[in-house]
Structure formats: C-alpha cells, structure tokens
Structure 1
Amino acid sequence: MNPVTPPSIALTAATPRAVHGRLPLPAWAACAALAVAGVLAGAALLPRAAHAQAGGNAPARIGVVGPFTGPSADFGVPMLNGIKLAVDEINAVGGYLGRPLELVIKDDRADPDQGRKVSQELLAEKVVATIGFCNTGVALKAIDLFQDAKSPLIVPCATGTAVTAKYPAPDSYIFRVQARDAIQAPFLVDDIVKRGWDKVAIFADKTGYGEGGYNDVVAALAAKNLKPVHVARFDLGVKDLTAELTAARNAGANVVYSYTVGPENATIANGKKALGWKVPQVGPWPLSFPFFLEGAKDAAEGALMVQTFIAEPSNERRASFLSSYTRKYQGKVAVPMAAANAYDATYLLMYSFLGIRDGNLNGKAIKESLEGKMKTYYGVVTTYDKPFSAQDKDAITRNMLVMGMVKNGAITFAYPEDAKRNLIIQRKQ
C-alpha cells in the first residue's frame, strides 16, 4: 500500500520547490491545466476589491475525507492520490487566482462515527468545499453536516443511491462523480440475464452499502420478472460462508451476486472454490479491489463487475493520467476507478471555481457554478459537458458504464466491443 499523508493535517500539494523540482506536466495534463492557468490573466483584470474578496493570496482550502487507514484503505488511498495528483498539476500553473489549493485531509477509517466527527472538524476549519467518502454508510452518517452548512461535497467513490437522493436535488449541496447503485444494478442484471444466468443468489453485507445495493438488485431483478433464489446477509469480517453458499447451491443458483466492499468478497469466492461449486461471481466495482484479487487469487478469475474506468491507455488523457500516477506514486494504480473518479472530481471542483466571476468561493456560488456555469472539462473517465444541474447531482450515466472482468489477476474488458467502444468518449445522457 502506498504511504499516505497522515490524517488531520493541511497539505499544500505543490510548494515552489516541488514545482521547480518536478518533471514537466505531461502534454494532456498541461492542456487540462491551461484552463486553470488562463484565469490568472483574468485575475489581473479583476477589481482590487474583488481580488481581496477572493482571499488575496491565501490558500483555497479543500477538505478531503476518506478511509486512508483501516479496512477500506485499498480504495481510499488511490482516491486520495488522484486528488493530490490533480491539485499538484493545478498548483503548478498558479492555482486559483494566484492562490494555491490546500488540502485538509481527514481519515474516516471507514467508520461512520469517525466520518461524522472528522466532517465536523473539516467544516470548523472553514474549507470552501470537500471531496470525499468511499463508504456509503460513512457518507450517509455525515452528509447532513455539509448540507446544513451549505458547503459543497463531491463524492468520487461511494455508490449508494441514497447519497445523492437524500435531499431534493434543487436544494442539495451533495454531488457525485461515480455511478450510483441504482444504475449499476440494472446494468449488471441486464448482462447476466443476457448470459442466461437467471437464478440469482444475492450475498450482501449488513452495512448501509450492502443494504442499499441489495434493494437496488432486487428492484432490477423484479424489472425482469425475477426474484433471487437465495439471499444471504452477513456482518463485515465474516470468515466462513460455507453454510450460506451451500444453501444457495441447493436453491439452484447459477450466479452469485455479491454486494460488499471488503475481504468478504474473497470469502465468497474461496468458499465456492472449496465447495467445488463453479458458478460465476458478479457484482459492483469492489470486485476490482485488491482485497478480492489478492484474497481470492485464482478463485477470482472470471468474476464480472461494473466499471466506469479500466486502466488501459485508450486515449491520450487516460494514458497521461496513468503514466503520471505511476511516476508520482511509483507503482500501478491499486483501484483505477477510485483514482480516476477522484482526479476528475478535483478538476470539476476547480472548474467550478473558474465559473465564479468575483472570486468569492462561498458555498452557494460553488453550488451554482457546479450546476451549470462551468466550461467543458475533458476528463479521464469522460468529457464532462454540464455534468450537474439543479435537478441532477450525479455526473455519471449508464451509457458510460462497461463490464470489467478478472483475467490473470487483473481487470480488463469483459467484451472486446467494449474495449473498442472505449476509444470513443461516452458523454452524459
């Protein structure tokens, strides 16, 4: 696991020494940053009072909250690294109106109570906006704090449908750059039915993530006039699901749909292998996490999962992002989706700043800019042309999803046609 910045500290991602000593920005990253740099010229044209209102040269503080230690660090760390990579690039070309972006990082340890506590700390430290949350249950415990404070929150990882559905969209300060479970579940159900797997056993943990995902899968099956033939609910940390797997096999299941975020996915795969039960395992994106790939090893082969981003350099943006990440963190991306979604979320936040003409980064102004005043951002996952609106706080739509598959211990495209389709950027529908 890559080392992370210790929690509860402020980090300026690019000091002058770091900028002078770093390699030049890759061509695509430099182009992405040009929109940021372009505002610097405009800064000179702002009235002096407006520039003072914008904060002078004081850093623009952005909160970051996620599981950087503990059971969900396998995707919390890549999320943080994606944010830091984007901020480093932005600061290298001058930040916002000459103000560097400064990250205030808090570790929620994948614990809902801890997540609420550190969210209160972030808001007390007067961040202008926050990027964060990997775990749906942690997010749901804390998002009321951001909503009540009218402080924008962009969620790059947590997929629970309720995260962006809790508040009426026109009033909501909660945005997301990730595919919510309500579109992931029907996408995957359509695929497994097409493959002829119509006897589904659902294995879902008892967290907010597992509960929400279970409900979305049941609804997606019902739309196909199907019901699960077996349902298993379990606590995090379970080491043996043999009895539940045996019951699912006896019920005639021909596919296992798992909805959990940690090593429990590997427990399911290893349990199937021990029983000699050779049915496929499918699920949302946690089946692409190291806990599954490394914990299940050959038992993970062939598993199918929903993805927004697969780490293949299908265009210049993605190739540049992957090479920049690998160079900066000296290793491959452990969970590419988490890093790419968070990287794009950071640039979208910065683009929202650029849409605020007087430079006053208050919550209402950032919200309104995110909802429609931003320029198009050519990102890693997709091209974001009006990603949000007053009526829609989710940037990712179904057409952007692809099926991933475990092959030789890595994630690749399940269908060759998806690999070809990935060459063409799918914009929001």
Structure 2
Amino acid sequence: MRRAAVALAVVALAAPWLAQAQGTQGPTPVRVGVVGPFTGPSADFGVPMLNGIKLAVDEINAVGGYMGRPLELIVKDDMADPARGRQAAQELLSEKVSAVLGFCNTGVALKALDLFQQSKTPLIVPCATGTAVTSTYPAPESYIFRVQGRDALQAPLMVEEIIKRGWDKVAIFADTTGYGEGGYKDVVDALAAKNLKPVHVSRFPLGVKDLTAELAAARNAGANVIYSYTVGPENAVIANGKKAMGWKVTQVGPWTLSFPFFLDGAKDAAEGALTVQTFIAEPSNERRASFLSGYTRKYQRKPAVPMAAANAYDATYLLMYSFLGIRDGNLTGPAIKDSLEGKMKPYYGVLTTYDRPFSAADKDAITRNMLIVGMVKNGAVTFAYPEDAKRNLIVQRKQ
C-alpha cells in the first residue's frame, strides 16, 4: 500500500464513532468541487486533470476518506469559456462544497476568483499558470492556492535556456487570451532582466489557422528562436508554418508545448521544441512509478498531458491532508485555509515531497528549482539534458 494511503488509513480508523453517529444511512460525504474544461478546445488537458483528481479520490475513499466520510466530487465543465467558468463556480458554491479543485485556463480562472475569495471557499489550481491567478489578492487574505509552476517562473527559466543556447533575437508569438496576455508580459519582463528585447511580436486570437505572414515578418526581423505562448492548436500552426517556409529555428514555450494539440498537430515539425515541465512521465522513483501505473490501470491509457494529471493528483492529496489537520470535523473555508497554510503533515507526492507547501505569505507550492526543461523527441516530451534526468532521481523540495 502506498505511504499516502497508509497515513490516511490510520486517520480514518481513528474515528469509528462517526459512522455510528450517522446511523444506517452511512456517513455524510465531504463534497469537493471540480471545475475545468472537460469538453471543448482545452479538454486535452482538462480531462487528464479530472482523471488525476478521480484517481486520488478513489485511493482516499478506499482507506476511509476523512474521518470515515468519503469524498464526493461535484464536477462542472467550464468548456474553456470564462462566462461558463464563472457560472460553474457559482453552481459549485450553491451546492455547498467544502473546497474546489480546478481551472486549466487562466482567463477562465480570473473571471471566477472573486467568487471563491468572497465566499471564503478554498480553491486549489492544478493547471492554470497565469501569474495573476495567485497574485490577484494579498497572500495573507487569499483563498486561492496553486500546485503548478506559474508563468513568472516558467518564463525566466526558458529565457535563461535561450541565452544558454546562444539565441539573442527572440520572436514572441502569443494569443490574446488572459493566458497569452499574462505570458507575453512575463516573457518580456524576463528578457528585459537580461537586457534583451523581442525583435518581433505577433498577437493573434485563438482559432487562427495561418500565421505565415507573421512568421515571415519574424524571419525578416532576424529572429533565431520563436517563443510561443498559446494554449491550443495555434502552437502547431506556428510549427507547421515555419516548416512550410523551410525556416529551421527552434520553438520554445511553456508547458502547453507538451499538449496533444502540439505534439499530434505538428508531428515532426514539433521535434526539438523546448518546454517547461513540472513532471515528465518517467518512473524515476517509487511514487512516480506508482502514479503512472495506477493511472494507466484505471484509464487503460497513459495521461495525454502527464503534468495536468500529476499536478491534479497531488493537489487532491494536499487538500485531503489539509482536512486531516482539522480534527473537529468542522471543514469551514477559514479552517481549511489555515490548515493549508501550515497545519498539514508532509505529503510524499508525485512532483515532490510537500513539507509546508503553502503559507500565509505564499500560495504557490511549486518553486523554480522544481521545474525542468523538456524537449520534444519522437512525439513525446523527455528531458532536454541527461543531467536533468539524473537530477530528477532526487526529489526537489520547495525552496
């Protein structure tokens, strides 16, 4: 049995009185909300997020849940639409969930954050990377937590990689969503910190099918690398466009370059692309091997976006561990927030060992040392450097 499951089992067995108090109807479930894009243009990473959550909940419930109470997921599909995401958040809050896991799209998350903050309902974000997600509210007051590397960490890491490889003329291609807007700003700021400016900038809406003119302008500006910040098939449009032009420059970007939209949509045009990752699907230790085998066994396939599944799996356990820090069974928003910020026991997770992952001053569980540069090879993402593969054998804790 996994270490996390053993720890949960001990706590569950410590409260046999609860099931008796509930009578023959059984214990009252703990309702946990889930919101994300499970259909529509972002489902390729929304579904792995949901699957990671479900896998964790199945394991937690198998050993007794929270003090004998099973976790019950209330799932809402935001379809990657900000208006629908806000409606989904309102629906979850009306159903009296104790906390919420979710959001893959930064623009969708930003549209709904105020609802969680005002209702004092903790939200843990496993996917959306926009820096503003956890900086919109002052940290000590914020009910918004995240288990993902924010763009303000991803962009500087990739800019350092660009400089390391001798590329000094950067073209930025970013969509006009909240995600693209925030990412564009983070890349520009990261370049400025190294006394660089982009030689070309292209902004475009989601759904664009042809960026040939913009790519030609970037090439004419002397760009020797393309930094793309978009969430969907537009990444493949860029890769396929430069291939059609015979322009052999490397495409780099955030974790979205690990999505099927890019890997399958660009195929050989994606080869060599560099992407920032929190998790690469290789069984480098017992915990990661257990997660990957458990996911494949449950869903009969590997996760389409391993990061989304692993981040969400860990986020679910962190929420559960916050519940375990509340011994009186009163799972109010402020009590969960207080537990997340310092009362939890360490959790041996997939991405890392979480020992005080959050605090009153810091709502992001992932720090820069935990990020990895991945490279697309043969249609999948692997380590860009052999030394990173070796470093990954040692769990990188929060700094």
Counterpart of 1:313 in structure 2 is: 283
Partner of residue 217, structure 1:
187
For residues 96 and 56 of structure 1, the distance between their equivalents in structure 2, rounded to whole angstroms, comes to: 13
Q: For the residues of structure 2 that align with 1:310 and 1:103, how far apart are their CA atoms?
A: 27
Q: Which residue of 1 aligns with 2:3?
A: 31
SS in 1 for 2:275: strand
Separation of aligned partners in 2, 1:40 and 1:80 = 24
Alpha-carbon separation, structure 2, partners of 1:45 and 1:369? 23
Aligned to 1:207: 177
- Write the distance in 1 (CA, Å) between the matches of 2:281 and 2:157: 20
Q: CA deviation at 1:42?
A: 2.4
Q: Which residue in 2 is equivalent to 1:188?
A: 158
State the match for 2:139 in structure 1. Answer: 169
Give 1:41 deviation, angstroms. Answer: 3.0
Q: How does 1:333-372 map to 2 (within 5 A)?
A: 333-372=303-342
1:101 aligns with 71
Q: In the alignment, does 2:230 pair up with 1:260?
A: yes
Alignment-derived partner of residue 41 in structure 1: 13
Tell me the equivalent position of 1:7.
Answer: none
Q: Distance in 1 between matches of 2:69 and 2:275?
A: 41
| Cα distance in 2, alignment partners of residues 214 and 413 from structure 1 | 25
Which residue of 2 is the match for residue 157 of structure 1?
127
Select between 257-266 and 35-44 the one with higher mean Cα deviation. 35-44
**What residue in structure 2 maps to residue 15 of structure 1?**
none
Correspondence 1:391-410 to 2 at 5 A = 391-410=361-380
Letter in 1 for 2:9: A
Give the drift of 1:341: 0.2
Q: In 1, distance between residues paired with 2:15 and 2:197?
A: 59
**Structure 2 residue aligned with 1:11:** none
Q: Does 1:59 align with 2:29?
A: yes
Question: 1:390 aligns to what?
Answer: 360
Corresponding residue for 2:101?
131
Per-residue CA distance 1:186-226 (angstroms, 9 max, x = gap): 00000110110110000000000000000000000000000
User: Where do 5+ consecutive residues of structure 1 fail to align?
Assistant: 1-26
2:88 pairs with one of 109, 118, 121: 118
The worse-fitting range, judged by mean Cα deviation, of 31-40 and 355-364 is 31-40
**Counterpart of 2:14 in 1: which secondary structure?**
helix
1:294 aligns with 2:264: yes
SS, match of residue 43 in structure 1: coil
Alignment identity in percent? 82
Q: C-alpha deviations, 1:242-301, integer Å up to 9, x for none?
A: 000000000000000000000000000000001000000000000000000000000000
C-alpha distance in 1, partners of 2:315/2:5?
A: 14
Local SS of the residue matching 1:256: strand
Match of 1:5 in 2: none
Output the CA distance in 1 between the equivalents of 2:281 and 2:325. Answer: 31
Equivalent-residue separation in structure 2 for 1:339 and 1:38 (angstroms): 26
Counterpart CA distance in 1 for 2:90 and 2:26 is: 26
Task: Return the TM-score normalized by structure 2.
Answer: 0.98
Secondary structure of the structure 2 residue equivalent to 1:187: helix
Q: Distance in 2 between matches of 1:407 and 1:141?
A: 36
Structure 1 outlier segments of 4+, above 4 Å: none
Q: State how many pairs are aligned.
A: 397
Q: Distance in 1 between matches of 2:12 and 2:260?
A: 41
